[in-house]
Amino acid sequence: MALSLRFSAISDIGRRRKNDDSGYAGPHLVMVADGMGGAPHGDLASSVAIQTMQRLDHDVPDDMLEALAGAVHRANDRLAELIEEDAATEGMGTTVTAALFDGSRIGVVHLGDSRGYLWRNGELLRISKDHSWVQSLIDEGRISEEEAAVHSHRSLLLKVLDGRHDNDPDLTVYDVEAGDRLLLCSDGLSGFVDHERLERVLSIGTAEAVAAELIQLALESNSNDNITVVVADVVDEPPTDAGPIVVGAAAEHPRGSRGRLRSWTHRHSGPGETVLEPDDDPETLRYAPREPPRLRRLRGLLVLVVLAVLFAVLASAGYGWTQKQYYVAAYEGRVTIYRGVQANLPGVTLHSVYETPDLSLDELPTFRRSEVLDGLAADDLDDARKIVGALKSMARACATQTSKAPRPTSSASTNTTPRAESQSGGQIGTRSTTRDQAPSRSSSPSRTTSTRSEDATKSSTTRSETSDTTSQTIGGTSSDGGPSVAECAGATPAKVTS
């Protein structure tokens, strides 16, 4: 028994300003592609899908599913190339529902929310499953089919052909027999005409009559979308010489976005041609489901590799530089020389202890100790050791000044007040005369007065010397260049001005 297909295809713009749908019907391949009208160049996307996959109609491979999957991925890659060439096409996409006939079976490939149906013996079976958000809600039992038909987000798709995502299509195989009827349609029909009405229309008439009736039924049901219908009857007859039918955006004369499609395919179609000729070599049709990664992905991968290598080189160079730096800081209460920089990165330590000189933080003045705790930058290792040497000298100097610090002293003086003895009933003059006449009594007060004068002179000299010494050490450094007494006592060193 030789089975063949009798087919028809119609596409109507409906209530839209342009037709983003494309359809194809041939002896071995029937297909619908619904370009996303809400995105730019949906008509171009559906045309590319038809142009790429229609080649399968000329040489049916043994592995139909492999060929269908490969054709879908090639169409996706070509969309990616178009997007890369023209940024204005970014965001375009299309659904794909196609059936490939080998004489006894059909292989079905599906992406998006276009529909595939198989009518047999009066019963209509759905052979595709919508890749939409409302379908996921139905699968989860959250809404019914009736609720999905009027859901506000029923057009939200989860998987399409868009040149950006490698979405794997659904692939199935069905045995067919004479009398079966295939229906592929866009959601301009299935979204507005219920299952029972579709079933009734498909049960009567020829493929051409059924296709026309379904378009009219969608329009009468107030469909607000493009409507594309492909009907194919499985008959027990030899194939005819009828050529393929292309409808919708793919059938329009080249213009606008179609012009970009022509330049991309490097073909020059005549003004009346609507079907692009297949490649001369039919072996190009026998690609695996996934051909090697497309050029854009390869370039992206190479860019990532180059950036990773560059980052590794820069990171290595940066780390190497940090390990040539030194600074002085504290470690476990001691002055320490560190190698590296005084910072860290997440998961990376940029410094380590290099030397721990014999110098405790407690030996340093308070201000210098704070500086060490904060970290003292050095030009190199020798400079770091010089800094440590200077700190050691400061510690020794402060220890020496502490031992030589002046201690407070006290001096006592005896005030002797001369007493004048008065004669009973004597007068002043007589008293003075008596003092002059008694040198042995007046000489003692005179010596006492002289002693007090000498002590006062010595005390003044001592205070003057102490004042000079203090004035020499109260500044930033002492007279010998070391730390001042005030600094060793904990004060912040002052700047010395002349």
Task: Kindly state whether residues 49 and 149 are assigned to the same domain.
Answer: yes
Last residue of one domain, picked from the residues 387, 405, 423: 405
pLDDT digits (tens, 9 = 90+) for 433-468: 334 444 444 444 444 444 444 444 444 444 444 334
Task: Kindly state whether residues 85 and 166 are assigned to the same domain.
Answer: yes
Please check the confidence at residue 90 and state whether its pLDDT lies above 60: yes
Provide the mean pLDDT of the chain.
78
What whole-number percentage of the chain has pLDDT above 70?
A: 70
Please check the confidence at residue 292 and state whether its pLDDT lies above 70: no
Please check the confidence at residue 319 and state whether its pLDDT lies above 90: no
pLDDT digits (tens, 9 = 90+) for 139-198: 889 988 888 888 877 778 899 999 888 889 999 999 999 999 999 999 999 999 999 999
**Do residues 226 and 33 make contact, with C-beta atoms less than 8 angstroms apart?**
no
Please check the confidence at residue 203 and state whether its pLDDT lies above 80: yes
The residues, ordered by sequence, that sit 6+ positions from 63 with a Cβ below 8 Å of its Cβ are none
Task: Kindly state whether residues 378 and 253 are assigned to the same domain.
Answer: no
What whole-number distance in Å separates Cα of residue 466 and Cα of residue 405? 11
Helix axes 295-322 and 64-85, enclosed angle (nearest 10): 60
Last residue of one domain, picked from the residues 372, 405, 438: 405
Domain that holds residue 11: 4-268+285-292
Q: What's the domain count of the chain?
A: 2
What whole-number distance in Å separates Cα of residue 379 and Cα of residue 383? 6
The larger pLDDT score, comparing residue 116 to residue 300, is at 116
Pairing of strands 96-101, 29-34: antiparallel
Last residue of one domain, picked from the residues 277, 292, 307: 292
Instruction: Classify residue 315: in a domain, yes or no.
Output: no
Closest residue by Cα to residue 294 from 84, 111, 92, 109:
84
pLDDT digits (tens, 9 = 90+) for 264-285: 433 333 333 333 344 433 333 3
Token match 């229906």: residue? 183
The residues facing 24 across adjacent strands are 31, 246
Pairing of strands 115-120, 123-126: antiparallel
Pairing of strands 115-120, 29-34: unpaired
Comparing 8-12, 36-40, 144-148, 410-414, which segment has the lowest mean pLDDT? 410-414
Model-level pTM greater than 0.85? no
Please give the distance of CA 257 from its chain centroid, rounded to a whole number.
Answer: 34
**Do residues 20 and 225 make contact, with C-beta atoms less than 8 angstroms apart?**
no
CB atoms within 10 A of CB 398: 21
Please check the confidence at residue 498 and state whether its pLDDT lies above 90: no
Task: Kindly state whether residues 52 and 139 are assigned to the same domain.
Answer: yes
Largest CA distance in the chain: 177
Angle at 403 between CA 399 and CA 405, to 5 degrees: 115
Residue 146: per-residue pLDDT = 81
Task: Kindly state whether residues 249 and 179 are assigned to the same domain.
Answer: yes
- CATH, residue 256: 3.60.40.10
Instruction: Classify residue 104: in a domain, yes or no.
Output: yes
Task: Kindly state whether residues 68 and 156 are assigned to the same domain.
Answer: yes
pLDDT digits (tens, 9 = 90+) for 301-316: 888 899 999 988 988 8
